[in-house]
Amino acid sequence: MISFAQARKIAEEHGTPTLVCDLKVVEANYKRLKAAMPKCQPYYAVKANPLPEILKALVKLGSCFDVASKNEILMAFDAGAAPDRLIYANPVKPKESLKFAYDHDVRTYTFDNPAEVEKIAKYAPGSDVVLRLAVRDLGSVCKFSTKFGAKEKDALSLLKKAESMGLNALGMAFHVGSQCVNIDNYASALEMCGRIYRAAQKKGIEMSVVDIGGGIPIKYIDDIYSVEDVARLVNARIAEIFPEGIRLISEPGRYLAGECMTLVTRVVGVAERNKKRCIYIDDGCYNSLSERIFGHCEYEILSNKAGSKHRYTVFGPTCDSMDVVAKECPLPNMNIGDLLLVPNAGAYTNAAATHFNGFDPAKILFI
């Protein structure tokens, strides 16, 4: 995280709000993940933060990429990624995007329903396919199993259907939920994959890939388990459940990018509402901090002012009453013009920012 001295210089020169990115953090997190799970190939989830500079840094490190749309495919290509380094991991894809991906030599696709099998067989014939499973996501901040994933009881029929239509059933994928704070979800998901693997093997379907998805958490306010904790669990369960030689891949997004940015924001208004202290800042839920609503993320908001702390409601700049960045936020006495820092603002911030109410997204600087 940058210092307040750096933040003041940035604010004076560039104004606020500004997101300050340190690419060395992305590189360090990638190397830490590889050290913890040396047999696992990361496929960076481009949606977390698609900045070209981040993608290029990851290409140099040898990362592959989880893409979810035509535009994300193009972003990965522009950064220097080869088609065989991509997995088109959106379980439901427009036919036009499928055809585009296939025409540009992308050959690995995720699916979770019969209609998608038929679509892939028609527009990306002969491709490798990975079955996305619905798994337990208890305790995850953002859950996916209500929208994506095949049930265990349907897995074998889907794999057989894929093979019957000329596709190669490469393996299985799951996602335990974004910012997964319940590490046991990984164990439960891997056990399900093991049962499906053995059932498929009996039917002559030999899968070679297990995709553990994303979900590795980062620290915002509350303490969380480490990537090494995830690695110890996953490495042990893979060795217990699957034969030697099974290929392990992951789709980290937040873990790789989340800690690489600090938001520099400024207080633009102060008020008292219902006997509660309130401040208004120049970034909010429709810009860099949309995870407050969509990801239920509790951001740490920092001030370097001295003095006793008070409980503030922190509002974003728009006229929408939902634009609430924090409640009961401990801060010293705040005045208009005071600077605040929000660390770990690298994932789903600039990627999800809008121009709602006429407010421009934060500027982006690199250090």
**DSSP secondary structure string for all residues of 98-140:** HHHHHHTT--EEEE-SHHHHHHHHHHSTT-EEEEEE----TTE
* Number of separate domains in the chain: 2
pLDDT band for position 294 (cuts 50, 70, 90): confident
Tokens representing 294 are 């969509």
270: CATH = 2.40.37.10
Question: pTM for this one?
Answer: 0.94
My answer on whether 343 and 248 are in the same domain is no
Spatial distance between the Cα atoms of 117 and 140, rounded to a whole number of angstroms = 29
197 pLDDT above the threshold of 90: yes
Give the pLDDT of residue 141.
57
pLDDT tens per residue, range 31-85: 999 999 999 999 999 999 999 999 999 999 999 999 999 999 999 999 999 999 9
Residue type, 276: K
295 pLDDT above the threshold of 80: no
pLDDT tens per residue, range 240-255: 999 999 999 999 999 9
My answer on whether 27 and 8 are in the same domain is no
pLDDT band for position 332 (cuts 50, 70, 90): very high
Give the pLDDT of residue 218.
86
Which of these three, 209, 225, 258, is where a domain ends? Answer: 258
Which of these three, 200, 225, 258, is where a domain ends? Answer: 258
My answer on whether 235 and 137 are in the same domain is yes
pLDDT tens per residue, range 111-152: 999 999 999 999 999 999 999 999 876 655 555 566 889 999
My answer on whether 52 and 174 are in the same domain is yes
**Cα distances (angstroms) measured from residue 245 to each of 38, 60, 129, 167, 238:** 13, 26, 19, 22, 10
Give the pLDDT of residue 1.
85
Give the pLDDT of residue 269.
98
Residue 142 near residue 177, CB atoms below 8 Å: yes
Nearest Cα neighbor of 111 from 64, 74, 157, 77 is: 157
Average pLDDT over residues 182-203: 94
> Considering the chain, what percentage of its residues have pLDDT values greater than 70?
97
* Domain extent at residue 263: 4-19+259-366
Average pLDDT over residues 201-216: 94
pLDDT, mean over the chain? 94
Which of these three, 258, 283, 316, is where a domain ends? Answer: 258
Give the pLDDT of residue 241.
96
My answer on whether 122 and 90 are in the same domain is yes
My answer on whether 247 and 341 are in the same domain is no
**Cα angle 322, 328, 333; round to 5:** 110
My answer on whether 349 and 248 are in the same domain is no
> Considering the chain, what percentage of its residues have pLDDT values greater than 90?
87
193: CATH = 3.20.20.10
Of residues 97 and 185, more confidently modeled? 97
64 is annotated as an active-site residue: no
Task: Give me the sign of the Cα torsion angle 301, 303, 304, 309.
Answer: negative
215 pLDDT above the threshold of 90: no
My answer on whether 175 and 284 are in the same domain is no
My answer on whether 162 and 265 are in the same domain is no
Find the catalytic residue in 64, 285, 319, 329: 319
My answer on whether 135 and 64 are in the same domain is yes
My answer on whether 279 and 224 are in the same domain is no
**Cα distances (angstroms) measured from residue 312 to each of 183, 270, 322:** 33, 10, 16
My answer on whether 303 and 330 are in the same domain is yes
Give the pLDDT of residue 142.
58
